Structure 1
Amino acid sequence: MRTSVAIIGAGPAGLILSRLLTRAGIDNVVLERRSRAYVESRIRAGVLEPGTVRLLDELGAATRLHREGLPHEGFTVAFDGRQQRFDLQALTNDRVTVYGQTELTRDLIELAVAKGEALVFEADDVALHGIDSDAPYVTYRKDGEAKRIDCDFIAGCDGSHGVSVNSIPSSLLQRYERIYPFGWLGVLADVPPCAHELIYCNHANGFALASMRSPTRSRYYIQCAATEKLEDWSDERFWDELEVRLGPDAAATVTRGPSIEKSVAPLRSLVIEPMQHGRLFLAGDAAHIVPPTGAKGLNLAVTDVIYLAEALNGFYRNRNDAALAGYSQRALARIWKAERFSWWFTGLTHRFPDADPFQRRLQLAELDYLCSSRAAATTLAENYIGLPL
């Protein structure tokens, strides 16, 4: 089989890149090692920047998003017995939209299938070859049969543990990483959310987040040790601790119910440079990870594939490599700004095990400054809704 671009990974990054390339007349194939049912059931974040929503509109993938998504014009930060709402609409004239990544992935897959695009699930033993040559190709097995795709380029959208980044010699990559000394214990429950917007809580016991996926489905998180065992957290214990951290006002509006999903996610920051090697380009989690604080992961992946699609389109229009050379540098400039924001917001809202009273007072002073300075609040809001492309 022959195609222009082989895309590895059928998460939002790979699916959106495929749609962008197809719209530009560039043929492509998406390979995914998991089943369609598995991909469509993965629980992920759900805050979309306005730029992401606008792109989905352009691609014809936002019909259900606009019907079921929840526009949010602000969010609240709770700390030291206070609650401060940050009005995104007033500060930036824009807003975010809460729509689960699980639902977005389903929408993108349905669109790809409806348009008859080349999408291969359960592709086993995917391997990349010749990535530093002018004739790369991908091999895999489907239903036990060996397959090969010859292509001009390969786009690695298969995450930090995927075959793409691991196909580049480690000596050619620079890894910048920070492992946080805690994780998030998350619970998904079919109960109404306690508030109509997100609440980020800085409490003596640790961070908490009240969020939602719909008017009837809530997503709550509490900071915990990264080594925490799920079997130690009954639903009752989780709800008790969540209400303590949210404070009495928000706790009074919490509706308890059985969890339908419970997990512990360790937090880390990771950037891999460069994001290209030969004819292989990395995008999304294959190149960078951010803590979920501030919801930048999915939105950064979308920016990556916008830049990559533009670079590939430039190559096919002009038939030279000049359009491709700047992809990594352009993407990394925005990635590092988002990494900075996620690191800063995590440090502002979480309790670190080695923090002393002096650091705690500095944390409270910065939170107070955000509440009292419109300029500081605007900086927070601008980063939260996403910096310009």
Structure 2
Amino acid sequence: MRTQVGIVGAGPAGLLLSHLLHLRGIDSVVLEARSREYVEQRVRAGVLEQGTVDVLNEAGVGERMRAEGLPHHGIELRYGGAGHRIPFERLVPGRAITVYGQQEVVKDLIARRLADGGKILFDVPDVAPHSLQADPYLTFGGERLDCDVIAGCDGFHGVCRPSIPDGVLSIFQRDYPFAWLGILAQVPPSAEELIYSRSDRGFALHSMRSPEISRFYLQVPPDASLDDWPDERIWAELRARLETVPGFALTEGPIISRDLSAMRSFVAEPMRYGRLYLAGDAAHIVPPTGAKGLNLAVADVRVLTEALAHLYATGSTDLLDAYSATCLKRVWRAQHFSWWMTTLLHTFDTDDAYGRRLQTSHLDYVTSSEAAATTLAENYVGLPLDSGAPRD
């Protein structure tokens, strides 16, 4: 087999990259180790930045998102027995977020790529990249795929980043002393917007996926087990952490899925080795507090698309050579914002009275200062995207 761009991973990064390249007349093949059913049902992030929404709409894959997604123009920070709304419509006019599940984005992209004749191979065993410095190719299940470049969009645990020789990448990592327990519940949301709640019991997040499905998260110990969290305990803890303002009552119902996520920050740089380009979680991880993971992946593949289109149109590698530096500028901004949101809202040590007072003081500042609230709002809805292309 022969293609121009070999893409490893059929998550949102790999699928969107394949679609954007197709729009520019560039051929690609996507290799995915899991089944189509698995990648379409995998529950992940659901908050899309304004820039991500714009990219999907401009690429012609936003029809269902526009019909079913939930635009939000603010979030609530809840602490100290009161709720404080951060109004995006006033602080960052014309910009918002849209709640639309990652698995729905994946379904839309798969359907569009297959309708366009795109090549997505699922259930592919033993994918491995080779000859990364020149004449790269991928092997899988006894087959070989030759390509001009390889895009590693296969996530944190994928095969592409480990294929880079030791000593090439600089690794930056921070592990947090807690995890998130996430659930999907078949109940209408209890509020119209996301609620980020800080309490001495730990952090809780009220979110949603549709008018009928709610999404909740609880801060739990890093060694927590799902067996330790039956439905009754989950709802009791959500009530204790969210029902902290007068008049708010949590709507409860059947829990249809649950998962545990480690909380970590991770960056591998540069995001390139030879003709292998890393994108999305293969290169960087952020704690989900700032809702940046999927959005960073979209930003990465947008830059990579422009660089590859420039290569095939002009023969110049200038934009590919700048790919890592262009992406990392945004990655580190998102790293800082995600770290800031995480440290602002989580309980790190229940005996640290000094730390809790600092958190409260900072929350008071964010919710009373126009400048501080604007900083949160503009980072949350997403800073303007940079393609890496020269500006006129």
2:226 matched residue in structure 1: 230
For structure 2, the 5+ residue unaligned runs are 386-392
Q: 1:274 offset after TM fit, Å?
A: 0.4
Kept in 1: contact 2:243–2:249 (CA 8 A): no
Q: 1:81 offset after TM fit, Å?
A: 0.9
Q: Output the CA distance in 2 between the equivalents of 1:195 and 1:170.
A: 49
For structure 1, the 5+ residue unaligned runs are none
Letter paired with 1:109:
I
Q: 1:211 offset after TM fit, Å?
A: 0.3
Identical positions, percent: 54
Q: 1:88 offset after TM fit, Å?
A: 0.6
Letter paired with 2:27:
D
Q: Output the CA distance in 1 between the equivalents of 2:80 and 2:273.
A: 48
Q: Output the CA distance in 1 between the equivalents of 2:336 and 2:231.
A: 34
Alpha-carbon spacing, 1:189–1:250, altered in 2? closer, same or farther (3 Å): farther
1:6 matched residue in structure 2: 6
Letter paired with 1:25:
G
2:27 matched residue in structure 1: 27
Q: Output the CA distance in 2 between the equivalents of 1:381 and 1:4.
A: 40
> SS at 2:126's partner residue?
strand
1:333 matched residue in structure 2: 329
Q: 1:6 offset after TM fit, Å?
A: 0.2
1:57 matched residue in structure 2: 57
Alpha-carbon spacing, 1:361–1:248, altered in 2? closer, same or farther (3 Å): closer
Q: 1:104 offset after TM fit, Å?
A: 1.0
Alpha-carbon spacing, 1:194–1:329, altered in 2? closer, same or farther (3 Å): same
Q: 1:169 offset after TM fit, Å?
A: 1.0
1:369 matched residue in structure 2: 365
Q: Choose the corresponding residue for 2:319, options 304, 308, 323.
A: 323
Deviations 1:122-144 (A, max 9, x none): 111111110012x1111111xxx
1:178 matched residue in structure 2: 174
Q: Tell whether 2:104 aligns with 1:108.
A: no
> How many pairs align?
384
TM-score, normalization by structure 1:
0.97
> SS at 2:288's partner residue?
coil
1:283 matched residue in structure 2: 279
Letter paired with 2:374:
T
List aligned pairs for 1:251-330, cutoff 5 A.
252-330=248-326
Q: Output the CA distance in 2 between the equivalents of 1:213 and 1:303.
A: 23
> SS at 1:253's partner residue?
coil
Q: Output the CA distance in 2 between the equivalents of 1:294 and 1:160.
A: 18
Deviations 1:281-303 (A, max 9, x none): 00000000000001000000000
> SS at 1:381's partner residue?
helix
Q: 1:354 offset after TM fit, Å?
A: 6.9
Q: 1:193 offset after TM fit, Å?
A: 0.8
Q: Output the CA distance in 1 between the equivalents of 2:231 and 2:251.
A: 12
Alpha-carbon spacing, 1:243–1:291, altered in 2? closer, same or farther (3 Å): same
Q: Output the CA distance in 1 between the equivalents of 2:284 and 2:30.
A: 20
Q: Output the CA distance in 1 between the equivalents of 2:351 and 2:117.
A: 54
Kept in 2: contact 1:194–1:255 (CA 8 A): yes
Q: 1:235 offset after TM fit, Å?
A: 0.6
2:355 matched residue in structure 1: 359
2:45 matched residue in structure 1: 45
Q: Tell whether 2:32 aligns with 1:36.
A: no
Q: Output the CA distance in 2 between the equivalents of 1:253 and 1:115.
A: 47
Q: 1:253 offset after TM fit, Å?
A: 2.9
Q: Output the CA distance in 2 between the equivalents of 1:241 and 1:250.
A: 17
Q: Output the CA distance in 1 between the equivalents of 2:127 and 2:60.
A: 30
Kept in 1: contact 2:81–2:244 (CA 8 A): no
Coordinate RMSD, CA, aligned: 1.1
Q: 1:252 offset after TM fit, Å?
A: 4.1
Q: Output the CA distance in 2 between the equivalents of 1:184 and 1:16.
A: 27
Q: 1:229 offset after TM fit, Å?
A: 1.2
> SS at 1:172's partner residue?
coil
Kept in 1: contact 2:48–2:97 (CA 8 A): yes
1:92 matched residue in structure 2: 92
1:218 matched residue in structure 2: 214
2:238 matched residue in structure 1: 242
Kept in 1: contact 2:78–2:195 (CA 8 A): yes
> SS at 1:203's partner residue?
coil
